[in-house]
Each structure stands twice: as structure tokens, then as C-alpha cells.
């Protein structure tokens, strides 16, 4: 996030995020120039840096009002590295040609190199978490396990027209929301937050993460590839039946039946895919928008346990922005 984020009411956290970019580039790759080129590839594309921002804010108003110390900044870098690590692996699994406006790592260097880069970044994140205390790295490991489990269940359910909404939402919780929860947990611990504050931040992060992923999945139908920096329509082509599609399938009327028939085809052509897109836009998008907005409101409500101040207002604005974004 190069320019100060509009939702951020804490100048010091904005300055910390500006310091984070060079820190991330500096710690990528270690001494190995080939690994450095590989691991810096996605980091150079920027990104919203929402997870580090959440970690820094979760520490509370007093700490968020002054420059973060090395421990907090390293922990913020670690959550971003875990996120980026997961994207290296995700792009291999999704066969995604682009990410952050550039060729994905696997399209440039191959699946093996991209997978190694992701694993390397996760290992580096573990090192960066050491100063944050004995519970930090195990919490990150638990989160990585949840990401993998969610991602595996998503892959196992590819092309599954009978995937239930509850199971789908559990997958999204595991593959996305748990990393937001880790950021909140690490920040809350570093800030010495009380048990009720930790619980509120965990609840906020769980709802925010789910809202964020639903907004991401909506953009796969409604967004523009140029703005997003990645291909749209990818979920459908890869057999990832996301919530807008599952919602359109469950809608009353003949369109849902037409959708089912197209998705049963062995090799749907471009006209079929355009028809799916039209049906999902007509009956799947609006209910998911409402669900995402309700989750963002739920995230905002969880903040009631925190003191009024710049951190609380920033987090409330982030929840609102997460479902209103176009990229
Ligand atoms: C993006 O989802 C991917 C994730 C939210 C998590 C992916 C997790 C793994 C691949 C497990 C490996 C984890 C580690 C820590 C190495 P998406 O495909 O819905 O989003 P996209 O549209 O941005 O690709
Ligand atoms: Mg993907």
C-alpha cells in the first residue's frame, strides 16, 4: 500500500506499512540470488497489506500511535509473507496465468520453483516470528495447517454441484479467515490486550476474513481483470464453484436447471460459459453481496468491545471497505 490507505485513521501505522515494503523485499530470498528473484516476484507486485495492517492495529491505540518496534514490524512482515507464500501455491493449484498485474511465478519459472518459493517464504515467516514470543510460531503453523486443509477441501470439491453452502463457508473460513485471525491474535498478544478484547478481535477477524473472501469471489464474476491484476472467471473455469454460483444453482426457477445442465457438460464452450455468467449475475450475485455486507456489519459489531479511538474506527472502516472494493 504505497499511498496512505483511506480507511486508516492511524498515521503511525501508515508509516509502518510504508517501511514494510523494503523490509519484505530485504528479507526475501536470503543470500541465494535465484531464490531472491523468485520470492521477490510477487512481493514486488505490492498488495493491499491488510493482514499486517490488522496486526499493527490490533495492538491497540497507544502502540498504534507511535512507530512499531522491530518485533511488531517483523510479525507484520511474517503475516504478509505467509499470505504471499499461500498465493505462490494457490496460483499453481489454480493454474492462474497472472497475479498482481504480472505473470504468476509458476508461469514464469514452473510449478516446482513456484512451490519452493512459497515454502521458503513460509519458513522465513517462522523465523521472523521468534521475537514475538513462544506462542507465535506455533500459532502460525496451526494457521498454515488450516489454510492447507481449506485449500485441499476446496480442490476435492472441484466440479461438485452438490457442495453445501455451510461446507463451502467452512472452507472459506479455513483458507482465508484464519490468516486474518492470526494477524489479529499476534497483534493482540503484542499489545497485551485483555481476554475480552482478544475475543472481540478474533471474532472481528473471522467475519472480516469471510466477508473479504466473498467479495473476492464476487469480483471473479463482476470485476475487471485489468483492475484486479488477475484473470476473472477463473473459479468457474477451474471448477471452483463459489458462493455466487452455488446460490444461483439453489435459486427457484428454470434458470437454475439450465445452469445445472451446462455444468454437467463434459466440455462447455464459450457460449455456455457466457450463459453461466449471465445466470449467476442475475440470481447469484445480489444475495452474496447481502451476505458479505451482513458479515462486514457483524465484524463492525464485534468492535463494540474495544475502546473508541483511531484503531476501532480504522477497523470499522476496513470492514466496510472489504466488501465495497473493486480490486
Ligand atoms: C487464494 O484464494 C488462496 C488462499 C486464500 C489460500 C491458499 C492456501 C494454500 C495454497 C495453502 C498453502 C499455504 C501456505 C501457508 C504455504 P483464491 O484462489 O480464492 O483467490 P485468488 O482469486 O486471489 O486466486
Ligand atoms: Mg486462486
Residue 99 Rama label (left phi>0; alpha psi -120 to 50; beta):
beta
Stated pTM of the model:
0.95
Output the CA 217–ligand 2 centroid distance in Å: 10
The string of pLDDT tens digits covering residues 8-50 is: 999 999 999 999 999 999 999 888 999 999 999 999 988 899 9
Cell of 150: 481449506
Q: What is residue 6's predicted lDDT score, i.e. its pLDDT? A: 86
1 has pLDDT over 70:
no
- Whole-number Å distance between alpha carbons of 109 and 173: 31
**2 pLDDT more than 70:** no
The DSSP letter of residue 96 is -
Q: What is the pLDDT of residues 82-93, one digit of tens each?
A: 999 999 999 999
**Domain extents in the chain:** 4-322
Q: Where are the alpha helices (DSSP H) in 104-193?
A: 105-109, 111-128, 136-156, 165-172, 178-190
In 3D space, the residue among 291, 125, 312 whose CA is nearest the CA of residue 213 turns out to be 291
Architecture of the domain made up of 4-322: Orthogonal Bundle (1.10)
Contact call for residues 176 and 257 (beta carbons, < 8 A) = no
**Nearest atom (ligand 1) to Cα of 87:** 3
Distance from the alpha carbon of residue 90 to the mean position of ligand 2, in angstroms? 5
pLDDT the model gives residue 230: 78
Cα of 209 from ligand 1 centre, angstroms = 13
Q: How far apart are CA 163 and CA 115, in angstroms?
A: 28
Note the pLDDT of residue 3.
53
Indicate the Cα dihedral angle 326, 226, 176, 212, nearest 10°. Answer: 0
Ligand nearest to the CA of 88: 1
Side-chain half-sphere exposure of 191, counting CA atoms within 13 A: 28
State the residue for C-alpha cell 464476487.
218
Across all residues in the chain, what is the average pLDDT? 94
Is 178 a residue whose pLDDT tops 70? yes
- At which residue does the C-alpha cell 493482514 appear? 51
Q: For residue range 180-198, what is the model confidence (pLDDT) as tens digits?
A: 999 999 999 999 999 999 9
Mutate to test the pocket of ligand 1, among 81, 85, 86, 94 (most ligand atoms within 8 A of CB): 86
Q: Does pLDDT of 320 surpass 70?
A: yes
Phi, psi of 262 (to 5 degrees): -65, -45
Cα 179 to middle of ligand 2, angstroms = 16
Q: What is the largest CA-CA distance in the chain?
A: 60
The predicted pLDDT at position 4 comes to 58
Residue 95, helix vs strand vs coil: coil
Percent of the chain with pLDDT over 70: 99
Say how many C-beta atoms besides its own lie within 10 A of residue 253's C-beta: 10
Cβ of 85 closer than 6 Å to ligand 1, yes or no, is yes
Q: Whose CA is nearest to atom 12 of ligand 1?
A: 86
Torsion from C-alpha of 3, 6, 11, 17, nearest 10 degrees: -50
pLDDT of res. 7: 93
Section 132-141 average pLDDT? 97
In this predicted structure, what is the pLDDT of residue 151? 97
Q: For the stretch 140-171, what's the b/e string if a residue is b when 16 or more beta carbons lie within 10 angstroms of its beta carbon?
A: beebbebbeebbebbeebeeeeebeeeebbeb
Structure confidence by residue, pLDDT tens digits, 33-43: 999 999 999 99
pLDDT for 267 beyond 90: no
Nearest-angstrom CA–CA distance, 82 and 185: 15
Amino acid at each position: 500500500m504505497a499511498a496512505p490507505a483511506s480507511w486508516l485513521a492511524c498515521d503511525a501505522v501508515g508509516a509502518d506499512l510504508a517501511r514494510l515494503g523494503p523490509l519484505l523485499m530485504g528479507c526475501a530470498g536470503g543470500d541465494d540470488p535465484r531464490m531472491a528473484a523468485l520470492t521477490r516476484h510477487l512481493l514486488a507486485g505490492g498488495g493491499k497489506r491488510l493482514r499486517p495492517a490488522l496486526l499493527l492495529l490490533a495492538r491497540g491505540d497507544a502502540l498504534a500511535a507511535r512507530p512499531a518496534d522491530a518485533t511488531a514490524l517483523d510479525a507484520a512482515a511474517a503475516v504478509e509473507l505467509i499470505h504471499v507464500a499461500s498465493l505462490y501455491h494457490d496460483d499453481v493449484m489454480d493454474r492462474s496465468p497472472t497475479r498482481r498485474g504480472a505473470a504468476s511465478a509458476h508461469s514464469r519459472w514452473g510449478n516446482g520453483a513456484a512451490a519452493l518459493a512459497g515454502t521458503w517464504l513460509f519458513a522465513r515467516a517462522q523465523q521472523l516470528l521468534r521475537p514475538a514470543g513462544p506462542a507465535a510460531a506455533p500459532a502460525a503453523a496451526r494457521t498454515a495447517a488450516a489454510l492447507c486443509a481449506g485449500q485441499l477441501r476446496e480442490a476435492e470439491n472441484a466440479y461438485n454441484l452438490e457442495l453445501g453452502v455451510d461446507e463451502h463457508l467452512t472452507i472459506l473460513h479455513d483458507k482465508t479467515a484464519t490468516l486474518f485471525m492470526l494477524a489479529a491474535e499476534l497483534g493482540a498478544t503484542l499489545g497485551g490486550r485483555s481476554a475480552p478484547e482478544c475475543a472481540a478481535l478474533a471474532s472481528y477477524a473471522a467475519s472480516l476474513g469471510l466477508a473479504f473472501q466473498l467479495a473476492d469471489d464476487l469480483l471473479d464474476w463482476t470485476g475487471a481483470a485489468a483492475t484486479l491484476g488477475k484473470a476473472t472467471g477463473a473459479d468457474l473455469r477451474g471448477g471452483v464453484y463459489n458462493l455466487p454460483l452455488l446460490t444461483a444453482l439453489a435459486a427457484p426457477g428454470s434458470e437454475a436447471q439450465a445452469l445445472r445442465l451446462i455444468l454437467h457438460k463434459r466440455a462447455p464452450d464459450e457460449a455456455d460459459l457466457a450463459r453461466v455468467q449471465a445466470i449467476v449475475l442475475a440470481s447469484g450475485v445480489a444475495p452474496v453481496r447481502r451476505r458479505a455486507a451482513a458479515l462486514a456489519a457483524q465484524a463492525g459489531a464485534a468492535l463494540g468491545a474495544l475502546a473508541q479511538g483511531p484503531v476501532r474506527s480504522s477497523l470499522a472502516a476496513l470492514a466496510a471497505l472489504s466488501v465495497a472494493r473493486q480490486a
